[in-house]
Amino acid sequence: MASPTEISNLTQQWMDSLERWHLDFFLIPTTVITLATMIVNPVLLACIFLSRALRQETRYLLVANTLTADLVFLIINLITVICNTLRVPIPWLACELVTASTVTTHTCTILTITFMVVDTFAAVRWPLHYHSILPPTRTQCILLGVWVVAALYPFSLVIMMEMDKKNPHEEVPLCLALLSLGFIQAKNIMLVNIYFFVAAFTCTLLIFYCYIRLYMVTRTQGIWQNPLSRARVTLRAHGLLLLLYFAPGIVFTVELSVFQKTDINEDVRVWISTVNMCFFMMLPRAFAPYLYGLRSFIWKLLFKVNVTFRA
């Protein structure tokens, strides 16, 4: 764990860079995207949880879990950005908890989206046994396990750091996930890097395997011939969201790996971190409700328009 002097000096340098480049204006896109998403997500969640039929379908439970994790992430991130913009002093423990919650919600979303791909693979590969393989009760248990797995490591790190801390009442004027995890990984650099690498590699490998197997199983059924077929539209939606969710996480992991290096300009670090957290991390949360939650409705609408036009 870094000393209070090191933490204070680095946070002051980041504050100076933020003020010099007027990066506090990134509060605007963060606020706009968060508010827009907070209007749509609760409506979709209410539709899913109030409908008995939707609650019995695994895919809608997965969508609901993704939207919930995104909603929690956006609320935490918006509060943090507002506090940083107003320079509100935050206890270091609270900052660590915010960082752990941010990592947990983002990891939970990644794991849930990966599970969506596995769910699609199971539905296509074993259609007759699908409902017995993934009934709603089992899906709920799996999602609970996803939250536990996502939260286990980050909160364990917080507990270990608090046990080693000399000044538990220390406050910081700037709370950023990169700074918090960067100081934590100074003592546990290998563990943090292994955690992010193993999680990303496992999800990526599983996703590629399922998609390749899906294509091999269904390529002779003609569902890929039409450019506007449901299979192609689903694949594009999944691919776009996977890219939007994974890319900021990869950037964040690279930032962590070079955090201790001194040959990188401080302004560059601040710019990359700010743009990544205030914009790129927001994009998948803005697109998710429309690509997942409203996709079926839009698909049915386009189908009806197409049938009417041909008639």
Write the pLDDT tens digit of every residue in 222-250.
666 766 666 677 777 788 888 899 999 88
* DSSP structure string for 194-206: HHHHHHHHHHHHH
Summarize pLDDT for 248-294 with one digit per residue, the tens.
Answer: 988 988 888 777 777 788 888 899 999 999 999 999 999 888 877 65
C-alpha to C-alpha distances, 7 to 11, 110, 131, 293, nearest whole angstrom: 6, 30, 52, 42
| 163-169 CB contacts, 8 Å cutoff, 24+ apart | 164/1, 165/1, 165/92, 167/4, 168/93, 169/91
Q: What type of residue sits at position 65? A: N
Tokens describing residue 183: 């100081």
Q: pLDDT per residue over 156-193, tens digit each? A: 888 887 777 666 567 888 898 888 877 765 556 677 77
Map out the domains of the chain as residue ranges: 4-300
CA 181 to CA 206: how far, in whole Å? 27
pTM over 0.85: yes
- d(CA 18, CA 61) in angstroms, rounded, equals 40
- pLDDT band for position 7 (cuts 50, 70, 90): confident
- Supply the pLDDT for residue 6: 73
Instruction: Calculate mean pLDDT across residues 129-141.
Output: 90
Q: Which of 47, 44, 39 is nearest to 74 (CA)?
A: 39
Please give the CATH architecture assigned to the domain spanning 4-300: Up-down Bundle (1.20)
Q: pLDDT, tens digit, for every residue of 76-113? A: 999 999 999 998 999 988 999 999 999 999 999 999 99
Crossing angle of helices 295-310 and 230-257, in 10° steps, is 150
| Structure confidence at residue 219 as a pLDDT band (50, 70, 90) | confident
Note the pLDDT of residue 92: 87
More confident position, 52 or 181:
52
Averaged pLDDT score across all residues of the chain: 84
pLDDT (0 to 100) of residue 26: 93
Percent of the chain scored above 70 by pLDDT?
86
Contact 187, 1 (CB under 8 A): yes
| Residue 309, pLDDT above cutoff 70 | no
Q: In the structure encoding, which two tokens stand for residue 187, read together?
A: 């003592």
Residue among 200, 120, 191, 198 at smallest CA distance from 157: 191
pLDDT at 188: 63
Residue 172, beta-bridge partner list: 90
DSSP labels, 149-187: HHHHHHHHHHHHHHHH-S-TT-EES---HHHHHHHHHHH
308, with CB counted inside 10 A (0-12, 13-18, 19+), is exposed
| Residue 204: CA count within 13 A, CB half-sphere | 12
Q: Give the pLDDT confidence score for residue 215 in this predicted structure.
A: 83
Supply the pLDDT for residue 229.
Answer: 64
| Overall average pLDDT of the 18-36 stretch | 92
Is pLDDT above 50 for 307?
no
Confidence class of residue 11 from pLDDT cuts 50, 70 and 90?
Answer: confident
